[in-house]
Amino acid sequence: MIKIAIMGYGVVGSGLVELIDENREAKKCNEEIVITSILVRNKEKHKNKNHSEVLTTDIEEFFSKESDIVVEVMGEITKSLIYVKRALNLKKHVVTANKDLLAEYGEELFELANENGVALKFEASIGGGIPVIKSLIESLEGNNINSIKAILNGTTNFILTKMDKEKLSYEEALKEAQELGFAEANPEADVMGYDAARKLSLLSTLAFRKKVSWKNINIQGITEVESVDFDYADKINCKVKLLCISNNSDEGVYATVKPVLVENESVLAQINNEVNIVIFNGDSIGEIILIGKGAGKMPTGSAVYADVLDIVNKRFTKITAFKREEAKIIENLQGECSAVLRIENSKEQDIIKKCANEFTFIQVLQTQIEGETGVLVKANSEIEIDRFIDGLLANSYVKSIKKIIKID
Amino acid sequence: MIKIAIMGYGVVGSGLVELIDENREAKKCNEEIVITSILVRNKEKHKNKNHSEVLTTDIEEFFSKESDIVVEVMGEITKSLIYVKRALNLKKHVVTANKDLLAEYGEELFELANENGVALKFEASIGGGIPVIKSLIESLEGNNINSIKAILNGTTNFILTKMDKEKLSYEEALKEAQELGFAEANPEADVMGYDAARKLSLLSTLAFRKKVSWKNINIQGITEVESVDFDYADKINCKVKLLCISNNSDEGVYATVKPVLVENESVLAQINNEVNIVIFNGDSIGEIILIGKGAGKMPTGSAVYADVLDIVNKRFTKITAFKREEAKIIENLQGECSAVLRIENSKEQDIIKKCANEFTFIQVLQTQIEGETGVLVKANSEIEIDRFIDGLLANSYVKSIKKIIKID
């Protein structure tokens, strides 16, 4: 018999409890899993749920109950940190869905888990139900991972999908996302790209075996994405997606979260609404793509439950990547780079001539926007494009330039 | 130190040995993995490879060397069965990439592994480097899997991709696949769908926790696929793919391997050449999609190496699904069904009228083929379509009907 104590009885916690109960009844787990305590803020709110007899609002009472595994699905940071550390120090295995906690305190927490000889599992923290972490640290263990491309934030992907398919403005799409519960009242962490960056930081650290702090990631959210960007994308058979990208090389790590163009005939372009995708490129395995629902009660509950079963079945993996040295960050994408440039100017012919002289390939994109020239350009590197932009901006007749890179 | 003995030093065996050596040098594995013996048919052929000092052609010598893990990558059946059983009886963990062996003798072999308290791992047997098995039996363990959709045979997917993108005939595409080493001289197991069916049998057995023998699977290969099928597909924004499909319900299991139509704006449609894809639908997790290279030295080697590391790290999962009772097989796809019908006939207007009277939706598809009517139809079930076909065939003016179902 395995005893489990759960901190939090919200969406994910409820999903987990349902799965534990269902699977116990179906006798599908070789060990009986018993819930010994559930920590909540308000007992009254949960009194009609299953296991109401083990609810507690008191952390001392919570820890006084026997448990082999502590699950943290409160989604806070300060309290979660204190409680998770306490659990690890008590030599309890911990399962968490808290990417913010790990992005901030991963190094300390994994170290503590290793010192105490217990597991700290976190599959649900990235990509909901998708087995991202397990695939990366177990199945791809023999590989050197060269790059990651991913859509890891369901809220922004939902908004971009709405803007594309229903021709909504950013504001309209955000409002709809909020009404449907896909976006928070304060959507900052999502729309500014912070949530995606924290997830990319965890994945990159594990994949590249060096620390990639989320604060070092070059982050650009979706608040500047306009309907007209989708029109441009359409002209070159692309879609706009908020992509997490990180590449590892001897020179360092390039890591960014930003809106980019992806080709219609790519898997990335088919990822709509709340669906997440992760693409790992390993030196042996080539490209491995994982897709699934990135959030929600049962998908995320299923990932937490899988972590619990790993512990029940003693399938442990020690995480050491977070105590490695900080990766050197490279600012620009290496290698050939294509981008759409939206240039606000008063001398279109001159701009086009300049582009044609500078780049190996250009395609002028028709637009209805007065005083704007749209051009798809291809260069030997992103730096080349950025230098060209800087040069143009020095001209008095160029007012502003917006760049969206295209990813192969 | 973990001692490993390998049966077979071909493509996959060489990939595995490279990964073991590379990772040992990089000290990335917490235990040193030592290769104690490699069984080959001809020592001369491999004498310039690494570890030539442990080559043997003698199975007695092979088993006389110490080993904790035996890897079987010979790709035979009769010999592999005898040797794998011997290894399991000697209480050695076994890793195999041999789907044919498991599709025929899985029940016996997993039983033997369980009796001897050792692991029998087989990630590389399905989908090359894609972590299909691990995801299914560990990450999705808490789920009831409702359905599987997959492209599991690289050879046929390569041929269909060539037929689509380069407008080749089946014969031309097959010839090119053979020249490039993507198809065997005798391509039967691939083009007739047997290889895909064996893999679907293993996946369905594990997923549905009841035995789905490959001989019970309704199999149709790609030998009847014609260029004109791609023209029809194109008219309804679809591609033709050899899909493995299995659905589980209280009534039984529907399992088939056959060419079907998939929408251009789907992930399935983006899977080209030797790439494989598996889509699991779980009751909690929803749709999980896994994509990667389905074959090749390093992708497959990487999957075998991951299995070895699981054993080194004692991450075991006991497989019991194969001794369950045989699933009841349902012949037809349940629920709404769309299909393109190619009807060879002498009375087009009458055929169209009959279709319009019968089905909830029809779309007549223009074709250049003399005496053929192409129609996309939508019915409440596949049986309804089949009954209609039988009825038409009873008419003297209908010579033949080809049906290709469309999958959502």
pLDDT averaged per 10 residues in sequence order, chain A, 408 residues? 97 96 86 96 95 98 98 95 98 97 96 97 96 97 96 97 97 96 93 98 96 95 97 97 96 96 97 97 97 95 97 92 90 91 95 95 94 96 95 93 96
The closest of B283, B408, B383, B401 to B333, measured between CA atoms, is B383
Mutate to test the interface with A, among B114, B139, B264, B318 (most CBs of A within 10 A): B139
Answer yes or no: do A146 and A113 share one domain: no
Is the torsion defined by CA of A241, A247, A251, A255 positive or negative? positive
Task: Select from B285, B302, B330 the last residue of a domain.
Answer: B330
Give the model's pLDDT for residue A194. 97
Please give the structure tokens belonging to residue A126. Answer: 């990235």
Q: Is A309 left (phi over 0), alpha (psi -120 to 50) or beta?
A: alpha
What is chain B's Cα-based Rg? 24
Answer yes or no: do A99 and A136 share one domain: no
Pairs of CB atoms within 8 A across A/B = 165
Q: How far is CA A345 from the centre of its chain?
A: 36
Which runs of consecutive H residues, i.e. helices, occur in B183-236?
188-191, 194-208, 227-235
Torsion of CA A29, A35, A39, A40, to 10 degrees: 80
Of B19, B30, B266, the CB nearest to A284: B19
Question: Which amino acid appears at position B54 of this protein?
Answer: V
Answer whether residue A42 is part of any domain: yes
Answer yes or no: do B100 and B154 share one domain: no
Q: Which residues of B are annotated as a binding site for NADP(+)?
A: 7-14
Q: Measured between alpha carbons, how far is residue A390 from residues A343, A363, A384, A394, A404 in Å?
A: 12, 20, 10, 6, 15
Answer whether residue B19 is part of any domain: yes
Q: What size, in residues, is chain A? A: 408
Which residues face A379 on adjacent strands? A337
**Residue in chain A lying closest to B139 (CA):** A306
CA B207, CA B319: separation in Å to the nearest integer? 11
CATH code at B81?
A: 3.40.50.720
What would the DSSP string read from start to end of A3-61?
Answer: EEEEE--SHHHHHHHHHHHHHHHTT-SSS-EEEEEEE-S-TGGGTTSTTGGGEES-HHH
User: Collapsing DSSP states into helix, strand and coil, what is residue A253?
Assistant: strand
Answer whether residue B316 is part of any domain: no
Of A267, A313, A318, the CB nearest to B270: A267
Over the stretch B12-48, which tens digit does the pLDDT of each residue have?
A: 999 999 999 999 988 877 789 999 999 999 999 999 9
Answer whether residue A137 is part of any domain: yes
**Catalytic (active-site) positions of A:** 199
pLDDT digit string (tens) for chain B, length 408 residues: 999 999 999 999 999 999 999 999 888 777 899 999 999 999 999 999 999 999 999 999 999 999 999 999 998 999 999 999 999 999 999 999 999 999 999 999 999 999 999 999 999 999 999 999 999 999 999 999 999 999 999 999 999 999 999 999 999 999 999 999 889 999 999 999 999 999 999 999 999 999 999 999 999 999 999 999 999 999 999 999 999 999 999 999 999 999 999 999 999 999 999 999 999 999 999 999 999 999 999 999 999 999 999 999 999 899 998 888 899 999 888 899 999 999 999 999 999 999 999 999 999 999 989 999 999 999 999 999 999 999 999 988 999 999 999 998
Answer yes or no: do A227 and A350 share one domain: no
DSSP label at A2?
E
Q: Who contacts A168 (Cβ-Cβ below 8 Å, separation ≥6)? A: A162, A176, A227
Question: Which amino acid appears at position A332 of this protein?
Answer: N
Of B270, B285, B317, the CB nearest to A266: B270
Answer whether residue A109 is part of any domain: yes
Distance from CA of A292 to the nearest CA of B (A): 5
CA A317, CA A176: separation in Å to the nearest integer? 41
CATH code at A345?
A: 3.30.70.260
Answer yes or no: do A117 and A136 share one domain: no
Place of tokens 């001809």: B42
Answer whether residue A233 is part of any domain: yes
The closest of A68, A67, A69, A65 to A56, measured between CA atoms, is A65
Give the model's pLDDT for residue B249. 93
Q: What size, in residues, is chain B? A: 408
Answer whether residue B350 is part of any domain: yes
Give the model's pLDDT for residue B332. 85
Residues of chain B positioned with their CB less than 8 A from the CB of A133: none
Distance from CA of B121 to the nearest CA of A (A): 13
Mutate to test the interface with A, among B288, B307, B309, B320 (most CBs of A within 10 A): B288
Of A142, A266, A310, the CB nearest to B23: A142
User: Collapsing DSSP states into helix, strand and coil, what is residue A241?
Assistant: strand
CA B345, CA B340: separation in Å to the nearest integer? 15
Residues of chain A positioned with their CB less than 8 A from the CB of B33: none
Residues of chain A positioned with their CB less than 8 A from the CB of B284: 15, 19, 129, 298-299, 301-302, 305
Please, what is the angle between helix B11-25 and helix B297-312, to 10°? 60
Answer yes or no: do A160 and A35 share one domain: no
Residues of chain A positioned with their CB less than 8 A from the CB of B23: 142
Give the model's pLDDT for residue B146. 97
Q: Measured between alpha carbons, how far is residue A310 from residues A329, B110, B289 in Å?
A: 34, 20, 21
CA A251, CA B128: separation in Å to the nearest integer? 31
CA A121, CA A139: separation in Å to the nearest integer? 16
What spatial distance separates the first Cα and last Cα of chain A, rounded to whole Å? 50
**Residue in chain A lying closest to B297 (CA):** A284
CA B317, CA A119: separation in Å to the nearest integer? 18
Please give the structure tokens belonging to residue B325. Answer: 């009772």
Which residues face A282 on adjacent strands? A145, A286
Give the model's pLDDT for residue A81. 98
- Between β-strands B238-249 and B252-263, what pairing exists: parallel, antiparallel or unpaired? antiparallel
Distance from CA of A5 to the nearest CA of B (A): 18
Under 8 Å between Cβ of B150 and B289: no
Q: Which residues of B are annotated as a binding site for NADPH?
A: 99
CA A385, CA B279: separation in Å to the nearest integer? 40
The closest of A122, A119, A123, A121 to A88, measured between CA atoms, is A119
Give the model's pLDDT for residue A334. 84
* Catalytic residue from among B199, B239, B354, B406: B199
Q: Measured between alpha carbons, how far is residue B277 from residues A262, A274, A354, A360, B394 in Å?
A: 20, 21, 45, 36, 40
Answer yes or no: do B79 and B25 share one domain: yes
Inter-chain touch A139–B306, beta carbons under 8 Å: yes
Under 8 Å between Cβ of B157 and B272: yes
Which residues face A150 on adjacent strands? A244, A278
Q: How far is CA B318 from the centre of its chain?
A: 22
CA B278, CA B127: separation in Å to the nearest integer? 8
Inter-chain touch B129–A317, beta carbons under 8 Å: no
Answer yes or no: do A206 and A115 share one domain: no
Answer yes or no: do B176 and B271 share one domain: yes
Distance from CA of B21 to the nearest CA of A (A): 11
Residues of chain B positioned with their CB less than 8 A from the CB of A138: 131, 134, 306, 309-310, 315
Residue A323 assigned ligand-binding role? no
DSSP label at A369?
S
Of B28, B270, B298, the CB nearest to A270: B270
CA A145, CA A285: separation in Å to the nearest integer? 9
Give the model's pLDDT for residue B366. 93
Q: Measured between alpha carbons, how far is residue A180 from residues A155, A163, A177, A223, A242 in Å?
A: 11, 15, 5, 19, 20
Which residues face A241 on adjacent strands? A260
CATH code at B210?
A: 3.30.360.10
Mutate to test the interface with B, among A284, A307, A313 (most CBs of B within 10 A): A284
Task: Select from B310, B330, B350 the last residue of a domain.
Answer: B330
What is the interface pTM, i.e. ipTM, of the complex? 0.96
Answer yes or no: do A259 and A288 share one domain: yes
Answer whether residue A316 is part of any domain: no
Answer yes or no: do A246 and A381 share one domain: no
Residues of chain B positioned with their CB less than 8 A from the CB of A131: 131, 134-135, 138-140, 288
Which residues face A2 on adjacent strands? A33
Inter-chain touch B142–A305, beta carbons under 8 Å: yes
Q: Who contacts A21 (Cβ-Cβ below 8 Å, separation ≥6)? A: A50
Q: How many domains does chain A have?
A: 3
Residues of chain A positioned with their CB less than 8 A from the CB of B141: 28, 305-306, 309
Mutate to test the interface with B, among A139, A237, A312 (most CBs of B within 10 A): A139
Q: How many C-alpha atoms does A332 have within 13 Å on its Cβ side?
A: 14
The number of helices, as runs of H, and strands, as runs of E, in chain A is 13, 17
Range of the domain at A351: 337-407
Give the model's pLDDT for residue A345. 94
What are φ and ψ of residue A271, in 5° steps?
-90, 105
Under 8 Å between Cβ of B289 and A289: yes
Distance from CA of B287 to the nearest CA of A (A): 6
Inter-chain touch A291–B291, beta carbons under 8 Å: yes
Residues of chain A positioned with their CB less than 8 A from the CB of B287: 291-293
Q: Who contacts A45 (Cβ-Cβ below 8 Å, separation ≥6)? A: none
Of B130, B138, B143, the CB nearest to A288: B130
CA A138, CA B293: separation in Å to the nearest integer? 18
Distance from CA of A27 to the nearest CA of B (A): 11
Under 8 Å between Cβ of A79 and A103: no
**Residue in chain A lying closest to B299 (CA):** A285
Answer yes or no: do B30 and B175 share one domain: no
